[in-house]
């Protein structure tokens, strides 16, 4: 009889790697017993990552979702696990330690058994409290090694990192191959080395299918001693997601491993239900490109889960880059050309930035630097002349220690700008905050919720929670859904006034106004085309005169409102976005000339 391999169904990550939203709680509780009936899963990933935040974004209480979603699995003896980002916990920016501690207490009480904790830089300092707090709360602490392929990320590098995590008290190790670029043979060697050094620590492998290595990787890690494999199921398997359980089960069975049988009637029912959720509304927010695998990811190493946002960034920047190229007498590029250029630029800048593993949020930072390099060079400016604040924080060590050495060019650039490198513990920069959130809840008369879960939700996602409580989140989601339905040809109900956007003719603008400058979004979020937030009649129109430094519009982000200022004086020549549109960072909003 061969060695046993167990499977974990990534029902949360399947959706996150495919599109924007997660199923509603009524859909989750509908499919849970069918997943149980499939009989092949020892674990199900139920929550964490973007799950809680996404629920808030469309006006649903994430605490209710987690409790009702995990309950059927708890009853059936199937373990549930969540994903959390160490210092960043369940969001994209750092979290005070008292809020991190409360998170594990709340999630354990809600029915989540395992906390998978990762740090995008593999800095053990950012995971020490995750291990401590998870175990104090009664959860299994599973810590992740963020897998990438570079001269720095050797077997010995990962072994030394794992030693620290085990020293903290981690119960399990996950190989988080978030871009799927871990080479199969290397992963097999790593698992064997981990098992030799820590034979009693269970190992779970998580590999996305984007560049095509993950099926071979699963066979290699299984042969080397891995205990659990993360899998998906159709219609949300393959592409940029994960391999389907049927393929992996058949492969391992043929290789002599002991694997559970799959109840195919239940599989087909779960497949059908998942498709019905897509047909209901979730499919409107799934990027078709995420259904496709591409070997181009082998070189750049970008994770498949961010391909949708990356393509939105490229579409938003395409016209501005071509305008800059024309102004400098250079040939324009197609969108496909731009994709290849971006991948090549990521390959170029990544070593210079110290090889940060390309996982949230560092994959976004590296991609942003690469994209702005392309834009700068199109304008005749040098590389690294447009680095945003978040990316600088990564470079300066404010989010953790980079795995490799920064290039001298980047160090000199920081020194020229008077920036200081940080060597302390990143957590020390974020003081406890629960008392201020208790005060806010008391002033609003809000209930702290069972096991303080509502207090936790406000403290973790304060902006989204306030919008959820006010009903604004539900209103925005309904408007977003109407917009997507309209794109697909369904009827739409107009619920608000918008700025009318004339058809865009970049070449005509460039010919008439050769000095035209793009106005770009400073962050991702919702466009507010008005200078006075109280008076929507102040939205600008084509021909409006502006001065350099004037606030032209605002971006409503997940953390607050950001101003967008004019970088040049002139008149508004073209408005590219409507009132309330969702935009990506650096997307062109208008042209001024």
Same domain, 144 and 172: yes
Q: What is the phi-psi region of residue 43: left when phi exceeds 0, alpha when psi lies from -120 to 50, beta otherwise?
A: beta
- The two tokens of residue 195 are 């098992």
Distance CA 73, CA 125 (A): 33
Coil vs helix vs strand at 298: helix
Q: Is residue 459 part of a domain?
A: no
pTM more than 0.75: yes
Shared-domain flag, residues 247 and 360:
no
Residue 571: give the domain boundaries.
506-592
Distance CA 432, CA 221 (A): 41
For residues 72 and 203, membership in a common domain is answered with: yes
CA distance 136 to 114: 13
Q: Are residues 266 and 305 in the same domain?
A: no
- For residue 257, cis peptide bond before it (omega within 30 degrees of 0): no
Beta bridge partners of 144: 174
CATH number, domain with residue 70: 3.20.20.70
How far does the chain reach from its first CA to its final CA, in angstroms?
A: 74
Question: What is the β-pairing status of strands 570-575 and 551-556?
Answer: unpaired
Across the chain, mean pLDDT equals 89
Count how many domains the chain has. 3
Q: Please indicate, yes or no, whether residues 414 and 554 belong to a single structural domain of this protein.
A: no
CA–CA dist 242, 239 (Å, integer):
7
Q: Does residue 367 sit within a domain?
A: yes
Helix axes 62-76 and 453-460, enclosed angle (nearest 10): 120
Q: Which two tokens stand for residue 78?
A: 């199937």
Do 265 and 307 belong to one domain? no
* Residue entry with tokens 């978030």: 178
Compute the CA torsion angle 239, 350, 315, 11 (nearest 10 deg): 30
- How far apart (Å, rounded) are the C-alpha atoms in residues 529 and 501? 12
Give the residue from 428, 462, 495 where a domain finishes: 428
Name the domain boundary from 262, 286, 310: 286
Domain boundary among 407, 428, 449: 428
Give just the sign of the alpha carbon dihedral 408, 338, 371, 558: negative
Same domain, residue pair 89 and 109: yes
pLDDT tens-digit series, residues 108-146: 999 999 999 999 999 999 999 999 999 999 999 999 999
Residues 368, 306 share a domain: yes
**Looking at the domain assignment, is residue 527 inside a domain?**
yes
Strands 79-84, 41-48: pairing kind: parallel
Burial (Cβ within 10 Å: 0-12, 13-18, ≥19) of residue 492:
middle
Can you give the CATH number for the domain in which 584 is found? Answer: 2.40.50.100
Residue 460 forms part of a structural domain: no
Cα separation, 289 vs 52, in Å, equals 25
For residue 415, is it within any domain?
Answer: yes
* All residues at 6 or more sequence positions from 522 whose CB lies less than 8 Å from its CB, including other chains: 555, 562, 563, 564, 585
Does residue 361 have a cis peptide bond before it, meaning omega lies within 30 degrees of 0? yes
The pLDDT profile of the chain, 593 residues, written as one tens digit per residue, is 689 999 999 999 999 888 889 999 999 999 999 999 999 999 999 999 889 999 999 899 999 999 999 999 999 999 999 999 999 999 988 999 999 999 999 999 999 999 999 999 999 999 999 999 999 999 999 999 999 999 999 999 999 999 999 999 999 999 999 999 999 999 999 999 999 999 999 999 999 999 999 999 999 999 999 999 999 999 999 998 999 999 999 999 999 999 999 999 999 999 999 999 999 999 998 878 778 888 888 888 888 666 666 777 788 788 889 988 998 999 999 988 898 899 899 999 999 999 999 888 898 899 999 999 999 999 999 999 989 888 999 999 999 999 999 999 999 999 999 999 999 999 999 999 999 999 999 999 999 999 999 999 999 999 999 999 999 999 999 988 998 888 776 443 333 333 333 344 555 666 666 778 888 888 777 787 764 444 444 556 777 888 888 888 878 765 556 778 888 888 888 888 877 777 877 788 888 87
| The pairing of beta strand 228-231 with beta strand 203-207 | parallel
Same domain, 243 and 325: no
Q: Answer yes or no: are the C-beta atoms of 170 and 143 closer than 8 Å.
A: yes
Distance CA 376, CA 432 (A): 40
466 lies in some domain: no
Has residue 30 been placed in a domain? yes
- Note whether 277 and 218 are same-domain residues: yes
Decide if 464 is inside a domain. Answer: no
Are residues 322 and 411 located together in one domain of the fold? yes
Pair of tokens at residue 230: 């993360």
Residues 68 and 125 in one domain: yes
């Amino acid at each position: 009889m061969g060695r046993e391999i167990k499977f974990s169904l990534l029902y949360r990550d399947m959706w996150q790697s495919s599109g924007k939203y997660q199923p509603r709680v009524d859909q989750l509780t509908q499919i849970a017993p069918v997943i149980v009936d499939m009989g092949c899963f020892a674990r199900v990933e139920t929550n964490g990552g973007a799950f809680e935040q996404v629920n808030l974004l469309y006006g649903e209480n994430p605490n209710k979702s987690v409790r009702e979603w995990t309950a059927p699995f708890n009853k059936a003896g199937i373990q549930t696990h969540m994903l959390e980002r160490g210092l960043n916990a369940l969001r994209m920016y750092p979290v005070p330690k008292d809020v991190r501690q409360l998170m594990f207490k709340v999630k354990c009480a809600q029915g989540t058994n395992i906390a998978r904790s990762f740090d995008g830089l593999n800095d053990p300092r950012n995971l020490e409290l995750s291990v401590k707090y998870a175990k104090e709360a009664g959860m299994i602490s599973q810590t992740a090694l963020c897998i990438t392929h570079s001269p720095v990320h050797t077997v010995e590098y990962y072994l030394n990192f794992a030693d620290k995590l085990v020293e903290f008290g981690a119960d399990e190790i996950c190989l988080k191959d978030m871009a799927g670029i871990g080479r199969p043979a290397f992963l097999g060697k790593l698992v064997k080395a981990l098992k030799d050094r820590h034979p009693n620590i269970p190992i779970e492998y998580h590999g996305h299918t984007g560049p095509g290595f993950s099926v071979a990787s699963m066979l290699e890690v299984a042969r080397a001693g891995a205990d659990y494999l993360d899998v998906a199921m159709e219609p949300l398997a393959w592409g940029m997601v994960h391999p389907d359980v049927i393929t992996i089960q058949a492969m391992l069975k043929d290789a002599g491993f002991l694997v559970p049988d799959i109840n195919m009637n239940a599989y087909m029912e779960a497949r059908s239900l998942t498709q019905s959720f897509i047909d209901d509304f979730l499919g409107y927010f799934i990027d078709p490109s995420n259904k496709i695998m591409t070997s181009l990811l082998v070189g750049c190493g970008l994770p498949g889960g961010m391909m949708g946002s990356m393509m939105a960034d490229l579409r938003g920047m395409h016209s501005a880059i071509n305008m800059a190229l024309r102004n400098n007498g250079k040939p324009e590029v197609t969108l496909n050309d731009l994709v290849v250029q971006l991948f090549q630029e990521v390959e170029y800048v990544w070593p210079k930035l110290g090889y940060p593993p390309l996982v949230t949020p560092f994959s976004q930072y590296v991609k942003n630097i690469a994209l702005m390099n392309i834009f700068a060079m199109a304008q005749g400016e040098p590389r690294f002349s447009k680095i945003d604040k978040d990316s600088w924080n990564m470079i300066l060590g404010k989010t953790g220690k980079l795995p490799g050495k920064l290039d001298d060019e980047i160090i000199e650039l920081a020194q020229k700008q008077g920036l200081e490198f940080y060597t302390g513990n990143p957590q020390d920069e974020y003081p406890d905050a629960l008392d201020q959130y208790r005060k806010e809840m008391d002033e609003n008369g809000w209930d702290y919720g069972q096991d303080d879960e509502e207090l936790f939700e406000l403290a973790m996602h304060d902006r989204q929670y306030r919008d959820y409580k006010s009903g604004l989140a539900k209103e925005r989601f309904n408007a977003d859904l109407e917009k997507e339905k309209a794109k697909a040809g369904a009827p739409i109900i107009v619920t608000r006034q918008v700025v009318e956007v004339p058809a865009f003719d970049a070449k005509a603008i460039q010919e008439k106004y050769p000095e035209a400058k793009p106005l770009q979004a400073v962050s991702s979020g919702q466009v507010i085309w008005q200078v006075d937030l109280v008076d929507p009649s102040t939205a600008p129109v084509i021909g409006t005169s502006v001065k350099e430094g004037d606030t032209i519009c605002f971006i409503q982000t997940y953390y607050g409102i950001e101003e967008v200022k004019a970088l040049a004086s002139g008149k508004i020549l073209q408005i590219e976005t409507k009132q309330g549109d969702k935009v990506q960072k650096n997307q062109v909003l208008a042209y001024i000339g």
